[in-house]
Copies of this chain bind each other. A is one copy, B any other.
């Protein structure tokens, strides 16, 4: 097990019909900005419940945060915050709204050019303060409700903004608020969660048994409940398990003290940026291809994954690993998500652009071993047909 630090101060309020407790978590004199996305929270009544719960606070609203939230949109919220002296943010939505709100919370307190916040992972920015914010989660997927990471789109790129100042103060997780999600978004959430776990688990062994078994537990549960959750949209218990596993998949817990490989996400981000493919669908395309290309480096964990998650206990090591990759792909397809680049009309003539995108963001030494050069990334794309 590697040395690590773990700190996750977010308060979780989990369960049905608890939005009336919002008053216990938002300072009574706070001037609140409610942030949300395309308006589904208005239609399904969640936004109204939040308004009712905040009846004692001065609040304003900022809607229209798009999937893959854009810098330009978020900066409009910053303007409003300054104009109205807002001092607390409340994100109501899924990963994009929460991620966007994290960026807003930093940008509203940043003295320099806010673009610098985007580049902070490869060019240091002076991130000293963020506005406090909470979340009301309507889509289980990104884990943003209990971590300090955000992915923000600007021009033709996606940028990861990771800053310990942007842990939500609190997150309300009511599984019933996810009942109205379209099937495809549930499938996306299952896959996003699955791949979050894989990026922290499927590397090389360091004998970190809590982390491994917890990761394997989440994967097994997703396999069990993935399709069922899509097909039974108002089954509270299925949704509760999806929501909580999704949160636990990316809150630092299973990634503490182990190598991590975020290659699938990094290449996937380029696919979303250039071709507008849903984030989770890009992951479903890249992960199986990556496991094939990085077979030798990941062999030991692939076998463990085969045995423990897929219960493939007989056969040679090669057979087990191959079967596990095949079953991973089949699982994604069973959620009606396609796993080949051709399914999304991407051809090899698009590769130069994708590789150039990685290069511009200095993503030239990806993976747990830093061996995924641009050449290897291209090889992964070639395997994704």
Copies per assembly: 2
A12-B6, A14-B256, A256-B14 as given contacts; A213 in contact with B209, CB under 8 Å: no
Q: Which of B5, B8, B209, B244 contacts A14 (CB 8 A)?
A: B5
Interface 9-residue window, one of A41-49, A119-127, A216-224: A216-224
Cβ of A245 within 8 Å of any chain B Cβ, yes or no, is yes
Contact B5 A241 (CB under 8 A): no
* Whole-angstrom CA separation of A213 from B214 in the bound complex: 7
The interface size bin for chain A is 35 or more
When C-beta atoms are compared, the residue in chain B nearest to A15 turns out to be B3
When C-beta atoms are compared, the residue in chain B nearest to A4 turns out to be B14
- A204 CB, min distance to chain B CBs, angstroms: 14
Cβ of A225 within 8 Å of any chain B Cβ, yes or no, is yes
Contact B11 A5 (CB under 8 A): yes
Q: Which of B11, B209, B214, B256 contacts A6 (CB 8 A)?
A: B11
Contact A217 B210 (CB under 8 A): yes
- A379 CB, min distance to chain B CBs, angstroms: 34
Cβ of A112 within 8 Å of any chain B Cβ, yes or no, is no
When C-beta atoms are compared, the residue in chain B nearest to A236 turns out to be B1
* Whole-angstrom CA separation of A31 from B27 in the bound complex: 32
When C-beta atoms are compared, the residue in chain B nearest to A225 turns out to be B209
Contact with B along A174-209 (1 / 0, CB 8 A): 000000000000000000000000000000000111
* Whole-angstrom CA separation of A207 from B237 in the bound complex: 7
Q: Which of B7, B10, B245, B248 contacts A11 (CB 8 A)?
A: B7
A85-118 with Cβ < 8 A to chain B: none
A6-B12, A11-B6 as given contacts; A1 in contact with B244, CB under 8 Å: yes
Contact B12 A7 (CB under 8 A): yes
Q: Which of B8, B12, B207, B213 contacts A217 (CB 8 A)?
A: B213
Enumerate chain B residues within 8 angstroms of A12, measured Cβ to Cβ.
4-7, 256
Cβ of A276 within 8 Å of any chain B Cβ, yes or no, is no
**Chain A contact residues, CB within 8 Å of chain B:** 1-16, 18, 207-210, 213-214, 216-218, 220-221, 224-225, 237, 240-241, 244-245, 248, 253, 256-257
